[in-house]
Amino acid sequence: MGDRGVRRLVLAAGMAALLTGCGTAAQTAKNPEPTTTPIHLHAANVGEAITLTGVDDAGVTGTLTLAVKVKKVISTAVGRGTFEKPRKGERFVAVRFVFKNIGSTAYQDSPTFGAKVIDEAGHGYDPTVATVTAGRGFPRVVTLLHDQIGAGFIVFAVPRTARIVSVQYALNAGYATELGQWRVH
């Protein structure tokens, strides 16, 4: 097979992969597919713990259970490095989360993907990649066995004028049917 044949074969394989897909991000991260099941909202104030359940790696609901607490919200956080500055017109908001595994199965996930902050207009903001002087963040993947605790900051870039009124968190990279929501005062 000549160069032209190899190129066609590579192009055909690439197109087949694009058209058929390689699995969704949820499948890749061992998380369930998005569901039409209604979200069960648990509300609390900053400083209070909420018990959230999710789906474990075997697809079993109810064995993955975490006590999640939003310990602190820093409305104007400072980036750690010279290049870690928000874009023009934005600021960093840092939220300190504390997770305690109270379930019967290990928690192994990236906490960042399940977090969001909401402003008074109802706009939601996903995390950004930044470290702040307030404290350390989470590693890419956190593993917590029964009774283990993990804590760290998750950073969000929000418009400078946005007033954050709540923090949300759901297990399974945000796909779990239970959602914790903390009121920010």
DSSP code string of 126-139: -B-S--BTTB-B--
User: Of the CATH numbers 3.30.2130.10, 1.10.10.60, 3.50.30.20, 2.60.40.1240, which one belongs to the domain with range 31-183?
Assistant: 2.60.40.1240
For the cut 90, the answer to whether the pLDDT of residue 26 exceeds it is no
Q: Say how far apart CA 158 and CA 39 lie, in whole Å.
A: 25
Q: Grade residue 56 by pLDDT with cuts at 50, 70 and 90.
A: confident
Q: Say how far apart CA 67 and CA 79 lie, in whole Å.
A: 28
- List Cβ neighbours of 16 (8 Å cut-off, separation of 6 or more): none
Lowest-pLDDT range, 32-36, 38-42, 71-75? 32-36
Q: What is the pLDDT of residue 71?
A: 98
More confident residue, 141 or 63: 141
57 Rama class: left (phi>0) / alpha (psi -120 to 50) / beta = alpha
